[in-house]
Homo-oligomer: A and B are copies of this chain.
Amino acid sequence: MSAQGAILELVAELPLIDHHCHGVQTGTPADAEVELLATESDWPAPPGTSVFDNPFGITVRSVCAPLLDLPRHCTGEEYLQRRDELGGTEVSARLLASSGTERYLLDTGFRAGTIMTPDEMATLTGAATEEIVRLEALAESIAPGCTAAGFAGAFDDALEAAAANAVGVKSIIAYRYGLDFDPSPPEPAQVTAAADRWLTAIAAGAPTRLADPVLLRHLLWRAVELRRPIQLHVGYGDPDIVLHRCDPSHLTSFAHATRTSGAQLMLLHCYPYIRQAGVLAQLFPHVWLDTSCAVSHSGPSSQTLVRESLEMAPMHKVLYASDAFGLPELYACGSWLWRRAVGRVLGEWLADDLIGAADARRYAEMLARGNAVRAYGLE
């Protein structure tokens, strides 16, 4: 077998650590729910069109169909019908098994009631699971019982308790404000004043959703104190995002300010700012990146994205993640597409004799799991 063929095969079989994902859904979802989970859009496909003609939908019909005993390239209708026949548990079991994931790091802070807990995921898949604490969800969970003056202390207590069972935290300040936030930590008096505004609004009937930039920054800086990996949403996501405000180069000053803190900045998704993220990962010892959900949602074109993630970043700073939420197809396609892309990129480098076979194997293992082990202190 050629060296390229060998690395493709190796990457196809490597156990993965999925360093950023969510639980798979429980039960058997309705077709419309499947279709909504298959896109980052918040709305159904327009009349006369189908989500199965999105890059991700195309991949599902190609990669997942055979796992459900269907021919490749079946129609979306056929796929949904077979899904219903098998039922959600069987579909999840088959598709998650196909992903070859040995460990899931689960962000438990989004729509937790509708998806599996880490324990349920461990039972379904037989893989190890770890928890990632979402900062904003944690703050929202304690808000109802807080006074403004007590908020900061209550959050510290809650974070300490939650972090005891977790390997890292996640911030969605990109969604709630943007990455163009003031990089300095807010003063305690500012935090109290902001908490007062927020809690007063909640008491007056406003939704609990935390979007105050002072509080968002406070949460992030409290997380820095934990000296753990902090996952940061970057770039592509649902329609709440204003993309150019999620360019990670807005994080440059924050990266300077946290460089020696012991915290690690894990840039998630990053599309279309993968190159900016790669530059930061080269420059700053504590910055890492993945391409996660952008891989699934670019489907046939995803190798371009993975290739970009390896343009400037050191090989020891790029990680695998599916960012799957709910739909088991996202774990299956995320893994399949990423393995294909990494295998091909390393294969091209081998063909160009820019790396040797031993380095190719070593890099494959680092990208698939070794870098996550180092970042999160696993094992």
> Closest residue of chain B to A74, judged by CB?
B356
**Do A73 and B358 touch (CB < 8 A)?**
yes
Report the interface size for chain A: residues with CB under 8 A from the other chain: 74
Contacts of A144 in B (CB 8 A): none
A67 within 8 A of B: no
Contacts of A58 in B (CB 8 A): 315, 349, 354-355, 359
**Do A276 and B283 touch (CB < 8 A)?**
no
Task: Report which of B72, B252, B316 forms a contact with A353, defined as CB distance below 8 A.
Answer: B72
> Closest residue of chain B to A275, judged by CB?
B272
A54 within 8 A of B: yes
| Total identical chains | 3
Contacts of A62 in B (CB 8 A): 353-355
Report the separation of the CA atoms of residues A247 and B356 in the bound assembly, to the nearest whole angstrom.
Answer: 36
**Do A316 and B249 touch (CB < 8 A)?**
no
**Do B247 and A285 touch (CB < 8 A)?**
no
Contacts of A241 in B (CB 8 A): 252
Contacts of A300 in B (CB 8 A): 310, 348-349, 352, 354-355
Report the separation of the CA atoms of residues A62 and B73 in the bound assembly, to the nearest whole angstrom.
Answer: 38
**Do B282 and A40 touch (CB < 8 A)?**
yes
Report A's interface with B, CB cutoff 8 A.
Answer: 39-46, 48-51, 53-55, 58-59, 62-63, 72-73, 236, 238-239, 241-244, 247, 249-250, 252-253, 255-256, 259, 271-272, 275-276, 279, 282-286, 294, 297-301, 304-305, 307-308, 310-312, 314-316, 348-349, 352-356, 358-359, 363, 366, 374
